[in-house]
Structure 1
């Protein structure tokens, strides 16, 4: 499976969620990471962590295609792509099984940025790619998310039932090269990530 975290806007939590999901996926199978983000966040965090994952950094569309072609079916590729439009990012999206778009639904800038991203996606031939909205970094007191769903345009997207709330533990563990599944993790945060993983794999 190729699972890509994408959005044209930076700072929406793509790398953070991708890092923790990589650890959740590793609990049930083989995982490799593809870091196409110019910030190289996952590459550096993986180094801090002692390189628990193989992290690929293709710089051209040809390199990405070659990587995908030699990846076996028992490996989950988790791709983190930058907050910008490029041929490389578009190629990653086109060849993904699932594209997860994290947005904080109560932040106007992220919702508007999402509409820009939707316009880009409309130009791509993505017949087999499934697109999912992940409500991310939601305030802990927010319970009813229905009011945000009207901001999601078109029929291209599925709004995931799973949601990630604003928790310091996601960032503090990542900064130490850990994840919410480490000894310094958090049971509630682990459950959120596990629920997201299980929903994406159809469990």
Structure 2
């Protein structure tokens, strides 16, 4: 089955989800034809509209903007219609809101590949416990285990041991820990100020290298290289 919808989701805010979504969308949006798709669309479900506003900056600084569609919390039916209209020639990346809502749950259920960024802070475990409950409820609706791909994000560059959060992630069947670790880098903030990805700001930076590694991991696990979803 072909991967058409990739969603970044977490019911907890402050995990760097929208920043990661932006960087993935800009860079993967340049490659969608190489993946075998004819169209690329970004869906902004976050009520803070972070990606939508960054896209406006992108246009102001002369960069080609993303094609973005937005749905508000009271437009579940419209989102459902949009999802049903997606064909095999279209790749969609969704930035869901950092809270629990019907719209965000629908995005998770409809997705072929879900990414959940978390930091190494011990408090993240409480957020993941709540998210685990949501995934359990969605699994009952979908009649299969809903799994998300967890990415350690905004990690202190000096931090080497984050075993507490890793051990918790590995114990839960709904969570699959990604190999890539994204560290806290000032380049993320600087690049967004211009509507750039970190790779567009500086291809040789550590942030750029980490995002590139994450994209390669997503390509492999989501089957984007061969046009099929990896089971």
How does the TM-score come out when normalised to structure 2?
0.80
Q: In structure 2, which of residues 90, 93, 111 is the aligned counterpart of residue 78 of structure 1?
A: 93
- 1:139 maps to 156
Moved more, 192-201 or 122-131: 122-131
1:1-203 matches, within 5 Å, as 1-29=4-32, 30-50=39-59, 52-59=65-72, 60-105=75-120, 107-124=121-138, 125-126=141-142, 127=144, 129-152=146-169, 153-184=171-202, 186-202=204-220
Q: CA deviation at 1:9?
A: 1.2
Unaligned runs of 5+ in 2: 33-38, 226-231
| Residue-by-residue CA offset, 1:99-133 (whole Å, 9 max, x unaligned) | 1111112x133221111111111101343754111
- 2:35 maps to none
Unaligned runs of 5+ in 1: none
How does the TM-score come out when normalised to structure 1?
0.91
The count of residues paired between Structure 1 and Structure 2 equals 202
- 2:36 maps to none
Instruction: Measure the CA separation in 2 of the matches of 1:128 and 1:117.
Output: 14
Instruction: Measure the CA separation in 2 of the matches of 1:69 and 1:12.
Output: 29
Moved more, 128-137 or 92-101: 128-137
Task: Compare CA radii of gyration and give the structure with the larger one.
Answer: 2
